[in-house]
A and B are shown apart, each in its own frame.
Chain A
Amino acid sequence: MLVLITYDVNTTTSAGRKRLAKVSKKCLDYGQRVQNSVFECIVDSTQFRRLKYELEELIDEETDSLRFYNLGDKYKSKVEHVGAKGSYDMEGPLIL
């Protein structure tokens, strides 16, 4: 399934900036960055739970937030891209 992850991490402190880097690194492990703090991850339900848990461990719930949008398996009809830097299709042929 496709999960869209967005986050807000408070970067007014240096600890916050550190958290931001960690959160984006973790998201990158699981999917592709489609906009600055927006990631698309193709995961199964186990991987999703792990990812969610790992992200929750990283953030500070007082100041930061995470949003997960579960778009399911038939996500292709639900996503439309306009403008620069389109994403790649992780489930289509990957030929470089």
Chain B
Amino acid sequence: MKKLLNTLFVTIPDAYLSLDGENIVVKSEEETLARYPLHNLEAVCTFGYAGVSPALMGACATRNIALTFMTRNGRFLARVIGEDRGNVVLRKEQYRISDDERRSALVARNMILGKIFNSKWILERATRDYPLRVDVDRIKRVTASLSDAMKLVRNVEDLEVLRGLEGTSAVQYNSVFDDLILQQKEHFSFNGRSKRPPLDHVNALLSFAYTLLATDVKAALEAVGLDAYVGFLHRDRPGRASLALDMMEELRGVYADRMVLSLINKKIINHKGFYMKENGAVLMDDETRKQVLKAWQERKQEKIIHPFLHEKISWGLVPYAQALLLARYIRGDLDEYPPFLWK
């Protein structure tokens, strides 16, 4: 398994990034703030407006360093991709599967299975860890119906049916997600998902975490030679990284939701780090955003045993491991795509 390299996040608004030798140099008002060797990085994510020099863009593209541009508020803007590499044969097979609804459904159902399984165990874990603080009966009812949904998903060969099951499971999971918030209840509560813009603190955190996850998953898919824009469950739409969205389904809960919950429950962030705009959008201030990025990076360093590969890897390599397994399935080396099932 490859080594997890670091990600550089630049949140200084007027920072300009350029290349010097083999280093990325971060400047603000002509002053050099930092320089890092490129070989230690696998991704650069910038929230500034001053930009990146074309030389650095080229250097990142040729070295497979994912260079992503975000708005100040953490919405995805653009990403630099170099000359298409990867494996044409693999990509063509990916397109063939994507064109065939039934074959797409066979992959997508495993991803959704992974999503529901992971949602279920997030909830089960809460009932086990905090039996006195959560409504165990209510959560158990939800996990029971998630188990039923999994049995159905297992045999679905139709994308519409699959979307239906995915939707109802998500509603079920969301209905008790608020129960998992154990601290700072007066400021952090979850009353359903709102996005573009997120309308409360929890949704602001979730949206940001999902954007970070999306950039990691996109980079992982491209690293193994797949086309992140051609999906199975999510159909083609210009500019939408459909395959990345597919693969995120199974990772959202274990990767993003759990981090958001621990940020709140461990009181790493608090409500003072947010502000509201006139249209009701809730945004994070710079300090809170940095805290989230820090937690994100620290989580990525944590080691786990991959449930399918039985290999010790860091959390940060999970998207890469899943992309690798998907590529193996498409290539015909695996009979089924094994989703990430975390217990």
Interface residues of A (CB under 8 A from B): 25, 28-32, 41-44, 47, 88, 90-96
If over half of A's interface residues share one DSSP class (helix, strand or loop), that class is named, otherwise mixed; here it is mixed
A30 touches B36 (CB 8 A): no
Q: Are B21 and A94 in contact (CB under 8 A)?
A: no
Per-residue A-contact encoding for B290-301, CB less than 8 Å = 1, 0 else: 100110011001
- Chain B residues with CB under 8 A of A28: 21-23, 35, 37
B11: CB under 8 A from chain A? yes
* Among A42, A88, A94, residue most surrounded by chain B Cβ atoms (within 10 Å): A94
What chain A residues lie within 8 Å of B290 (beta carbons)? 95
Q: Which residues of B contact A43 (CB under 8 A)?
A: 39
What bracket does the count of chain B residues touching chain A fall in?
A: 20 to 34
By Cβ-Cβ distance, the 9 closest A-B pairs, closest first, are A29-B22, A93-B297, A94-B8, A95-B9, A93-B294, A29-B21, A96-B10, A95-B293, A90-B40
A32–B22 Cα distance when bound, in Å, is 12
Asked whether, in the complex, the Cβ of B6 is within 8 Å of the Cβ of A91, the reply is yes
Please tell me if the beta carbons of B33 and A29 are within 8 angstroms of each other in the complex.
Answer: no
Cα separation A30 to B3 with both chains bound (whole Å): 17
12 A-B residue contacts at CB 8 Å?
A28-B35, A29-B37, A30-B37, A32-B35, A32-B37, A43-B39, A91-B40, A94-B7, A94-B8, A95-B290, A96-B8, A96-B34
Alpha-carbon separation in the docked complex, A44 to B3 (Å)? 10
Chain A hits for B23, CB < 8 A: 28-29
Contacts of B233 in A (CB 8 A): none
Q: Which residue of A lies closest to B297 (CB)?
A: A93
Report how far A31 CA is from B23 CA in the complex, Å.
9
**Interface 1/0 per residue, B9-46 and A, CB below 8 Å:** 11110010000011100100000011111011000000
Q: Quick one: closest B residue to A33, CB to CB?
A: B35
**Which residues of B in the span 278-310 have a Cβ within 8 Å of any Cβ on A?**
290, 293-294, 297-298, 301
Smallest Cβ-Cβ distance to A91: which chain B residue: B6
CB nearest neighbor in B for A96: B10
Contact of A30 among B11, B22, B26, B297 (CB under 8 A): B22
A95 to B294, CA, bound (A): 7
With both chains docked as a complex, state the minimum distance between the C-beta of A4 and any C-beta of chain B, in angstroms: 15
In the assembled complex, the Cα of A95 lies from the Cα of B12 at a distance in Å of 9
Could you tell me the distance in whole angstroms from the C-beta of B335 to the nearest C-beta in chain A?
34
CB distance from B9 to the nearest CB of A (A): 5
Interchain CB contact under 8 A, A88 and B34: yes
**Closest B residue, CB atoms, query A26:** B21
Known: A94-B6, A94-B9. A31 touches B298 (CB 8 A): no
Check A96/B37 contact, CB under 8 A, given A28-B23, A30-B22, A91-B6.
Answer: no
Distance of A30 Cα from B10 Cα, bound (Å): 21
CA–CA, A94 and B15, complex, Å: 14
Chain A positions within 8 Å of B6 at CB level: 90-91, 94
